[in-house]
Chains A and B, each alone.
Chain A
Amino acid sequence: MSFASNHPTRRDQAKVMSRAELTRRLVARLDHEEAVIGGIGFANFELWGAGQRPQNFYMLGSMGLAVPIALGVALAQPSRRVVALEGDGSMLMQLGALATVAGLAPKNLIVVIQDNGAYQITGGQPTAASVADLVAVARASGLAQSAWAADEGDFEEMVVRALREDGPWVIGTRIDSAKPEATTERDPARIRDQFMRGLGVKR
């Protein structure tokens, strides 16, 4: 049974959920030192809030680059699963990255889109994500294993499958605009150093 037919294929079929809760549920499922790249916007705030891990990388700028950074880690460490957590505004800024991922087809890459239909961190201005369904864009970019999470339980099921079976995967989540529960400590050199140690590149 295909990924898409088991889960909603359209944005309007997906439940609007809490970003903090979904991020906690994702992190709770990570048991093999999987790498997670938290995008600019509130994605990295909630990743920080879900519990700091040495395999987390928190982006402090460079809007749109969570998927490319995750792809780079995935290429360098093919036996490690790598997750990109990216907001809809950021994803829209670097849509070509989806096509690049599709062309390379890394089996160990999972893209989780956190779509609140807004540039929340800059004041909640609407994005084009309610017009351009990002999961449909991903599928049209060549990423066949792309679907929306129907609800919290469905999201966890998709995460578990994506952590075990060959990707690349794109999991769309609709999220609300609740204020984030935490703020990332803005110390880029420390973030990078810890991440490299967490990936076993530095000792």
Chain B
Amino acid sequence: MPSPEAPAAGAPWYRLAIDAFKAHDIRLVTYVPDNVLRPLIEAVHADPFFTAFATTREEEALGILTGAWMGGTRGILLMQTSGFATLPNAIASLAVPFQIPLLMMVSERGTLGEFNQGQALVAKTMRPVLDALALEHHTLSRLDEVSFILDRAIRQAVATQAPACFILSPLLTGGKVFAA
């Protein structure tokens, strides 16, 4: 018998993500949507464990999570690569200096079959920005690594009071395909 925590065999990436969020009491999910994130967004809306809502900007979502963390509630920000590109100032002036374990999950556009030039270019800024801010970040590309990475990186973020970013590679999610 699998334990209640153990994900069902063959569970998709977003189920594993939900299990990891629950295991770490991450209840608040703020997002600006993306098509790849859709099953995860739908799943958190369908589950009463979570409080989930869209914000008008990613920065706003970051501010909400910061306030919630200080008030005792853990959360995660879901967004697209283009959304991450709007965040460096808020990360550098709020999350990092105030030592907030800000959790971010980014659906990676701009690579492995991108069809939109703007997406392809803005995506190039993501890892350099994460590295410039010395932020812990992990690219999730294999289903068998998802649970381990999420579990350990969330623990580390909380223990070290530092942000962490999870990048959902098209290798994991299938990405968004141009219907030619």
Contact = CB atoms under 8 A, between A and B. Distances in A.
Interface of A: 35, 37, 57, 59-62, 64-65, 67-77, 80, 94, 96-97, 99-100, 103-104, 188-189, 191-192, 195-196, 199-201
B59 A76 contact: no
Contacts of A192: 70, 98-100
B168 to A, nearest CB: 24
B67 A189 contact: no
A103 B53 contact: yes
A69 B73 CA distance: 13
Interface string B40-55: 0000000000010101
Interface residues of B, number: 31
B3 interface: no
Main secondary structure of the interface of B (DSSP, over half): helix
B67 A71 contact: yes
A65 B63 contact: yes
Contact of B72 (A64, A97, A189, A199): A199
Given A75-B28, A188-B98, A192-B99, A69 B67 contact: yes
B66 to A, nearest CB: 6
Contact of A73 (B51, B68, B92): B68
Contacts of B98: 188-189, 191-192
B66 A69 contact: yes
8 contacts: A61-B92, A61-B97, A68-B62, A73-B71, A74-B71, A76-B28, A94-B59, A100-B64
B117 interface: no
A74 B68 CA distance: 8
A68 B72 contact: no
Main secondary structure of the interface of A (DSSP, over half): helix
B43 to A, nearest CB: 20
Interface string B94-123: 100111100000000000000000000000
A53 to B, nearest CB: 14
Nearest to A93: B59
Given A62-B59, A65-B90, A72-B64, 6 more contacts: A60-B97, A71-B67, A72-B63, A74-B67, A76-B73, A97-B56
B56 A100 contact: yes
A200 B68 CA distance: 13
A37 B57 CA distance: 20
A77 B72 contact: yes
A68 B58 CA distance: 11
B90 A71 contact: no
A125 to B, nearest CB: 19
B67 A76 contact: yes
B72 A69 contact: no
A64 B60 CA distance: 8
A76 B68 contact: yes
Contacts of B65: 72
Contacts of A68: 55, 59-64, 66-67
Contact of B99 (A60, A80, A96, A189): A189
A199 B53 CA distance: 24
Interface in B128-172: none
Contacts of B71: 35, 72-77, 80, 199, 201
Given A73-B71, A77-B71, A104-B53, A94 B60 contact: yes
B69 interface: yes
B90 A62 contact: yes
A197 to B, nearest CB: 10
A89 to B, nearest CB: 15
